Structure 1
Amino acid sequence: MSDDLKRWQSERHAELSSPDSWLGLVGLFWLQPGRNPVGRTATATVVLPHGPALLGDLSWADGRVVWQSADGPEVALATDLHGAPTLVDFENLSFFVVDRDGQLAVRLRDRNWAAKAPFAGLDYFPFDHRWQIVAAWQAIDPPLTMEVPNVSGELKTVSVAHRAVFELAGQQVSLLPMAVGDKEVFFVFRDRSSGRETYGAGRFLKVPVATSGQITLDFNRAYNPPCAFTPFATCPLPPPENWLPFAVPAGEKKWLKPV
């Protein structure tokens, strides 16, 4: 195993064991236009596990979200649409607004989550250089338009202009990217290990952008999506085109929640 892969695995562990880990999420609350109370009562839009009956109000109007605490000034909140969202802290709790194709929701986090059940780490398949696959990066003309569902059943329209094509065990297969950036390409895939040794809904893979018509798919870096760790994430599901007809015994294995 290369030092680079060891460093990547170490960074994954640090991310998942931190106070801001996906494991610390304790709620996802969809907002409605207008006033959205935040507090301990069951009638609040954002229900806190402890604290005052009314901590404050989130107001969503004219494309803006404003936080008005019960004893403080108004604060305009940035969502996660264009970067890091604005955090609102209360004791060990922290919440922020996420934008999912124009629908807004609040994610609530307990930053002291690890005191109850510390993160024990991830299991990986042994490194295997055979799963470092150089694929052809083929243009799709005209681009393909797909409706990609997430775990909540909502659909997102994705335009796909390229595919990664490779041959394995006598089969030619392809993967469609969910996003192509300036530095990396993002895939969501399933394989015959899904639901057995790996997370049932599939795994994520980020790789460097293609060069000279080729793209390297290092499945040793395949990793579990946030939905493997919390029910309060909205992860994309792999399209049928990305259901591989063989097992991929590389990368992260299924994470088992401590009992």
Structure 2
Amino acid sequence: MLNDLKAWQAQRHAELSAPDSWLGMIGLFWLSPGANQVGCHEGAAIQLPDGPEKLGDVIWQGDTLLWQPVVGAAQSLRTDLAGPPSVIDHQNLSFFVVDRDGQLAVRLRDRTWAASRPFGGLAYFDEDPAWRITADWLELSPPLDMAVPNVSGDLLPVTVTHKAVFLVAGQPVELLPMSVGEQEVFFVFRDRTSGKSSYGAGRFLKTKPAVDGKICLDFNYAYNPPCAFTAFATCPLPPAENWLGFPVAAGEQKPVDRHD
């Protein structure tokens, strides 16, 4: 398992040091219905750090989302709601639209960010087989409806149909998933290392789906959310039910690099 973990850590390093890393984010701009100007003009809705005063407009009208550049034809834009969003490039900059519960925002990225501040890497707790836990996957009847906060203070409605139940030091522990898909199950949690040796707002964990009423929670693969690296992310926070009353000394530690 050590080789698998090292390969995963190398992949994490490659993702975070790439041109499209979260560390390259330089802006998050919430859109209003109608035309939203993109440019370096002080009145632009999407502020560019340099370039033309007006590069174009992001036009949001009902279910229609368009990019209308000053020069060239308009084009339809996809948000990230159902998959990868459309990306608009301008020199070293790129931007795309994200959908957060019906509210749209433009994320602005500098793809040359690493030239001035290269990624310094991540620190990890030592691999510990004790944190590779096989938990019971129990159905909730009725399902639990929760309002999960994010770092922006907004609430995201989540319906939870199952819970993972396991023992730590002989005591029963429950962990609620934030989403359950055909390929993976997604958890958000915090523990007694949060704000000390790990990121204060908590960490993410993805697992394979449950099989025969069992699910494997390998906390050695716990990782920092995007908001650990940039202020321009809208990460979910762990619900109170996922605040663990003990330290989970496994997975990624608190990151050193953060770009705001």
Task: Give the TM bin, normalised by the shorter chain.
Answer: over 0.9
Identical columns (%): 62
Aligned pairs for 1:238-257 (under 5 A) are 238-257=238-257
Paired residue type of 1:179: S
SS at match of 1:12: helix
CA contact (8 A) 2:120 2:257 kept: no
Provide the residue aligned with 1:230 in structure 2: 230
* Structure 2: distance between partners of 1:225 and 1:258: 12
Report the counterpart of residue 89 of structure 2 in structure 1: 89
In the TM superposition, residue 2 of structure 1 has moved relative to its aligned partner by 2.1
Deviant stretches of 4+, over 6 Å: none
Instruction: Please give the alpha-carbon distance, in whole angstroms, between the structure 2 residues aligned to 1:258 and 1:237.
Output: 18
- Tell me the C-alpha RMSD between the 2 structures: 1.0
Name the counterpart of 1:109: 109
After superposition, the Cα gap between the structure-2 partners of 1:258 and 1:153, relative to the gap in structure 1 and judged at 3 Å, is closer
CA drift of 1:258 comes to 7.2
CA contact (8 A) 2:2 2:127 kept: no
Gaps of 5+ in 2: none
Query: What residue is the counterpart of 1:189 in the other structure?
Result: 189
Partners of 2:97 and 2:64 lie apart in 1 by 11
Number of residue pairs matched?
259
CA–CA distance in structure 2, aligned partners of residues 140 and 191 of structure 1:
23
- Correspondence for 2:158: 158
User: What is the identity, as a one-letter code, of the residue corresponding to 2:222?
Assistant: A
Contact 2:229 2:258 in 1 (8 A): no
Give secondary structure in 1 for the equivalent of 2:9.
Answer: helix
Alignment partners' CA distance in 1, 2:175 and 2:20: 31
Task: Name the CA distance, whole Å, in 2 between partners of 1:97 and 1:258.
Answer: 22
Distance 1:258 1:176 in 2: 28
Q: Which residue of 2 aligns with 1:17?
A: 17
Taking the aligned partners of 2:102 and 2:62, their CA distance within structure 1 comes to 12
* Equivalent residues in 2 for 1:1-259, closer than 5 Å: 2-257=2-257
Q: Deviations over 1:140-188 (max 9, x none)?
A: 0010000000000000100000000011112211000000000110000
Whole-angstrom distance in 1 between the partners of 2:135 and 2:258: 38
Cα displacement string for residues 193-217 of structure 1 (whole angstroms, at most 9, x for unaligned residues): 0000000000000001111111110
Deviations 1:46-104 (A, max 9, x none): 00000000000111002111111111110111111111111101010000000001100
SS for the counterpart of 1:58 is strand
Distance 2:134 2:62 in 1: 48
Three-state SS of the structure 2 residue aligned to 1:89 is: strand
Structure 1: tracts of 5 or more residues without a match: none
- 2: CA distance between counterparts of 1:62 and 1:249? 47
* 2: CA distance, partners of 1:214 / 1:145: 23
1:235 deviates by: 0.2
Could you tell me which amino acid in structure 2 is paired with residue 104 of structure 1? L
Amino acid at match of 1:125: F
Distance 1:42 1:145 in 2: 43
CA separation in 2, counterparts of 1:257 and 1:2?
Answer: 25
Distance 2:17 2:120 in 1: 8
- Partner letter of residue 177 of structure 1? P
- In the superposition, the TM-score normalised over structure 1's length comes to 0.98
SS of the residue corresponding to residue 249 of structure 2 reads coil
SS of the equivalent of 2:105 reads strand
Q: Distance in 2 between matches of 1:159 and 1:249?
A: 29
